[in-house]
């Protein structure tokens, strides 16, 4: 074999060795970067990229369609079975103090709040489908829990009616009051006649006369 043939064979062997080394390194890199290797051999596989799930940090829940009679005490006793409650509030009318049938509840743990939202949404409670939703922290009003422990006394309707009756009225106010009474009396008379009853209600005396001296009711 001549010198040229020897050089050609040496070049061939060098190329084969280089290609085998590159294949082995590439296979090694693929195996290290792969998520799993098949059990029966074959090339390694990598799972597709999955979007990262956002961490739940919401602890405040909106509760809608709250039934009548299911108020702060009952709600606290019911929801404390899930976990520790930090704040609880039912929206109430400032005028009457009655429930507006929706409210908010805050748990200490965001995991507990997520469980409550999943379990209690569309839950049938006293013939009401309760609506429960998580509120993101950025959407929670900063004054949501202001005055949450304030106890509002219900309005004293007896005192309100007494003041309204004892109110001093002018001649014009008294005339409008009597006109309203007369209109209601005329409607009542027409209903009695249409029903066929033989009854004549007494006439109402008043009209544009000055307001009579009013009898005031005492607090007793």
Amino acid 87: pLDDT: 95
Amino acid 208: pLDDT: 47
Class of CATH domain 60-139: alpha beta
46-74 residue pLDDT tens: 656 655 556 789 999 999 999 999 999 99
Q: Token pair of 35, please? A: 């998520």
Q: Which residues of the chain have pLDDT under 50?
A: 31, 37, 208, 210-211
SS (H, E, C) 32-72: HHCCECCCCCCCCECCCCCCCCCCCCCCEEEEECCCCCCCH
DSSP-derived letter for residue 177 is: H
pTM: 0.52
191-206 residue pLDDT tens: 998 998 888 888 876 5
Amino acid 216: pLDDT: 58
């Amino acid at each position: 074999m001549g010198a040229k043939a020897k050089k050609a064979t040496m070049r061939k062997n060098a190329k084969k060795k280089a290609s085998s080394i590159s294949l082995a390194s590439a296979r090694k890199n693929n195996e290290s970067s792969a998520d799993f290797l098949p059990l029966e051999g074959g090339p390694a596989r990598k799972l597709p990229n999955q979007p990262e799930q956002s961490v739940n940090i919401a602890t405040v829940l909106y509760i809608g369609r709250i039934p009548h009679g299911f108020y702060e005490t009952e709600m606290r006793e019911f929801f404390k079975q899930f976990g520790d409650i930090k704040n609880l509030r039912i929206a109430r009318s400032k005028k009457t103090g009655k429930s507006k049938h929706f409210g908010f509840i805050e748990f200490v743990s965001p995991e507990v709040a997520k469980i409550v939202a999943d379990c209690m949404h569309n839950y049938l409670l006293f013939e009401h489908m309760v609506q429960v939703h998580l509120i993101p922290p950025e959407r929670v009003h900063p004054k949501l829990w202001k005055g949450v422990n304030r106890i509002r006394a219900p309005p004293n309707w007896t005192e309100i009616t007494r003041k309204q009756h004892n109110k001093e009225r002018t001649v014009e106010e008294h005339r409008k009051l009597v006109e309203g009474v007369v209109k209601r009396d005329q409607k009542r008379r027409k209903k009695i006649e249409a029903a066929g009853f033989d009854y004549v209600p007494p006439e109402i005396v008043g009209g544009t006369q000055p307001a009579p001296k009013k009898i005031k009711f005492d607090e007793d």
